Structure 1
Amino acid sequence: MSADLKKTIEALLFSTSEALPVRELHRVLAEAHEQSLADAENDQGNSEDDDFGGEATIPPPPGTSRLREIIRELRDEWRAADSVYDVAETADGFRMVVRPVYADAVRLLRKEPRPARLSSAAMETLSIVAYRQPVTRSDIERIRGVSADSALSRLTEHDLVEAKGRAELPGRPTVYGTTEKFLDFCGIRSVEDLPSSDVLSPARLDAWLSEDDEEKSPDNADMGLPESEAEAPASEGESAEEIRVEDETEEVK
């Protein structure tokens, strides 16, 4: 009798609270396959003490791409069945998790504190860092229009953002980027998996920074002059020099 490969993978996901890398999953399945073959050949297993449930053999594992497909099939089946379980895919691998709707009850059972919520300012800053990284503090502040000190400190405290080095700019300012915990927080493998955004696209962010760099020509208000003191424009066909000469003539008269 051969064990079901998908159910075996489900059992392995269920058995660990850590993310399971696909290569590690492949290694375990390969070893389990070899061991089950040896047990069957030696006729040493039985339903009571065999590690793999009697004479059942573990099928040989497919390639890593197919393993990923099987895990995603499991995830889709659980969601279709409205199961309490889900699969989180992170940079470290796949992890079996409880759906968010049941998270509060699980936290109470395990006596874990409720995770801190991020403010809207922190979320805005995190979004800019995620889509723009590596990014300096000054760039974040120019995009948001306000100080980023508090938001960056909070994001760093929660290990969602970290310093990634220094920019090749005057003063060598620190540049920031997202962390592995951020990927886990979002349930993605890399920042390339972030959903596309017209608002936070590189082109839009660059445009905001360019607009901030453009110098505005000072008007009368900027110069502290009332509108009544503004010099009247010359009429069509009449130069400013001609107006000045006429004014001097009036004074002589």
Structure 2
Amino acid sequence: MKLKKIIATITMSVLGVILIYGINRFVTREYVPKGTKEAIAAKINTLNEQEQINEKKVSESLPEGELTDWNLVLVGPSHKLKEEATETLTTLDNGMMLDHRIVDPYSQMLIAAQEDGIDLMLVSGYRSISYQEQIFNENVNALIYQGESEVSAKKIVKQTSTEPGYSEHHTGLTFDIVDQDWSNNFTDNLLSEAYAETRGGKWLATHAREYGFILRYPKGKEEITEISFEPWHYRYVGIEHAKYIEAHQLTLEEYLDLLKET
């Protein structure tokens, strides 16, 4: 009997403690008006959405730049190079030359591609006006030999190659690039539109902008660039400019027109 009485007493004590704790929790609990939690959650969502909008506006805002900036120089079939500046050039390990100011981002891009299993390979960098003249004339003469008139031959060559003095390669800011796998299998047709559909071509189209490079002659923009689609031809403009240009599917010509309006 004593044991039962002791157990009953302990049980009642425990229940009493639990009851008192529950009452205290109820009495001291912070009062939250009905609908407040929903309002707070809605406010947080609104703030998050506004933050995302602000970030989007920043990414979509036109970067600062001047048409006279070295990295925005325009050279093309309708824009002759004003001055062939060779003092900014540097020679790479492969013997080719680039403007020394783009060597670091170029090297970083090669390393990033390699980490993704793609070995990029430089095909052509800086070309002097005299060398461009040699290439252009050789292509024209080859077509003349095949039966084309000189006028017709030049017109055809201009679709894929520029006249001396009008090539971006004179600037040292541009290069032709593919990957080693493509080079090993398509030696006879190295610079082909089909490169766009390869793993290397797609990697460049996606990631080159992260290092300041743009696909200079995109597909569907031939009337603007006056050059056929070249998925191997990339040009340095700087990271912010490159991201904006690629995000808005612009050519350098169209982008510079926007800068003129600011």
TM-score, structure 2 as length reference: 0.22
Higher helix share: 2
Higher RCO, Cα 8 Å, sep 6+: 2
TM-score, structure 1 as length reference: 0.22
